[in-house]
Structure 1
Amino acid sequence: MSHRQQGFTIVELITVMVVIGVLSAVALPMLTSGGNGMAGAAFRNELASTLRYAQKSAVSHRRLVCANVTTSAVSLTIAQAANQTACDTQLQGPDGSEVASRDAAVTATGGLVGMIYFQPGGTISTNGAGTATAAGVINVTGQPAINIQGATGYVE
């Protein structure tokens, strides 16, 4: 009669220790920092997505779309008619809700925090007339910068 020993092999124990070490090195700082690491990443992604939506909406509606980027929020408005140099109506998303994002736990900084104008031709400017091309970055606390190239309409 053979007795089979039960337990874990040394390889299994080392594998489990490595996995626990990796999780503690990556996940634990995010969880103990009050979630600011995850909040920053989420807000950065929402901000970039909202700016891309503004650019696509300006082109598809053939109207000026204005993005008001503050240190902790972004909201979109659209011109009621073509050839306007100001926005006067809240832009609705595909589901009919307001297109906006806000998070007081993070801070956006950079030369393009403020009003950004998405022109019907696909360019991005710092004025409603479209004469001053926007180029620069928006930084969100602890996250990679959002690059904006107004001449091409590139947002990322």
Structure 2
Amino acid sequence: MNHHLHAGRRRESGFTLIELIIVMILVGVLAVAAIPRFFDRTFDERGFHDAVKAAVQHARRVAVASRRFVCVTTTAGTGAFAVVSISMDTTLPEGAAGNVSCTTSVPLAAPGRGCAASNEVCAPAGVALGGDSVIFDPLGRSVTATRALAGVLAITVSNSPNITIQPETGWVQ
């Protein structure tokens, strides 16, 4: 015989209808807020933007430290076709005349995932890249292939602010 009966009523375990309805409402609200995030490219775009900016800053530092011309080449496109690569001109000394021709790869500290080479940053699927290629001289300034000062240059990543390079200082922002 069960001695835990109170006034003839037996205690049932489980959820009430009110509790189940409240849980279903909470799950619905979370689903409406969270599911769009699974299909959003915002984090990929921001991560790629930051990786490209870091690569351009790295190229400028390498140009100053090695006293050589360093090129940042942008291949416009979307996804795997959008690549930023860094290379150096090892044949043209600092004071010599001639055009810049970057052919030697400059490895990145953290190369892009899924890239073919260690000097590349590759865009994730659905993220677009565009804009200018950049050449840094041994003083860290952005220049043209004929070594004249370049204008303000910009690299664009979809849905992100432009990465701009100032000509006289080479400042990347």
Which TM-score applies when normalising by structure 1?
Answer: 0.71
SS at match of 1:154: coil
Uncovered stretches (5+) of structure 1, i.e. residues with no partner: 1-12
| 1:130 and 2:137 are equivalent in the alignment | no
CA distance in 2, matches of 1:24, 1:129: 55
The answer to whether the Cα contact below 8 Å between 2:73 and 2:85 also exists between their aligned partners in 1 is yes
SS of alignment partner, residue 139 of structure 2: coil
Tell me if the contact between 2:69 and 2:135 (Cα under 8 Å) persists in the aligned partners.
Answer: yes
Alpha-carbon separation, structure 1, partners of 2:108 and 2:35: 36
Q: Does 1:98 align with 2:118?
A: yes
Distance change >3 Å, CA 95–CA 38, structure 1 → 2: closer
Larger radius of gyration: 2
Give how far 1:143 is off: 1.0
Q: Which amino acid aligns with 2:122?
A: R
Matches within 5 A, 1:1-156: 25=33, 28-33=35-40, 36-71=41-76, 72-81=82-91, 82-83=93-94, 85-94=100-109, 98-103=118-123, 104-110=125-131, 112=132, 115-125=133-143, 127-156=144-173
Kept in 1, the 8 Å contact 2:53–2:163? The answer is yes
Secondary structure of 1:55's counterpart equals helix
For residues 108 and 138 of structure 2, what CA distance do their matches in structure 1 show?
17
Which structure 2 residue ranges, 5 or more long, are not aligned? Answer: 1-21, 77-81, 112-116
- Looking at structure 2, the residues matched to 107 and 131 of structure 1 have their Cα atoms a distance apart, in angstroms, of 29
Using the TM superposition, give the Cα deviation of residue 92 of structure 1 relative to its aligned residue in structure 2, in angstroms.
Answer: 2.2
1: CA distance, partners of 2:74 / 2:86: 9
CA distance in 1, matches of 2:168, 2:44: 31
Distance 2:110 2:52 in 1: 18
Q: 1:131 to 1:40 in 2, by over 3 A?
A: same
Q: How much has 1:51 moved relative to structure 2?
A: 0.3
Question: Given the two structures, how large is their TM-score scaled by the length of structure 2?
Answer: 0.65
**Contact map agreement 1:30 1:38 (CA 8 A) in 2:** no
Aligned partners of 2:46 and 2:66: how far apart in 1? 30
What is the percent sequence identity of the aligned residues? 24
| Cα separation, 2, equivalents of 1:120 and 1:151 | 12
Aligned Cα root-mean-square deviation (Å): 2.7
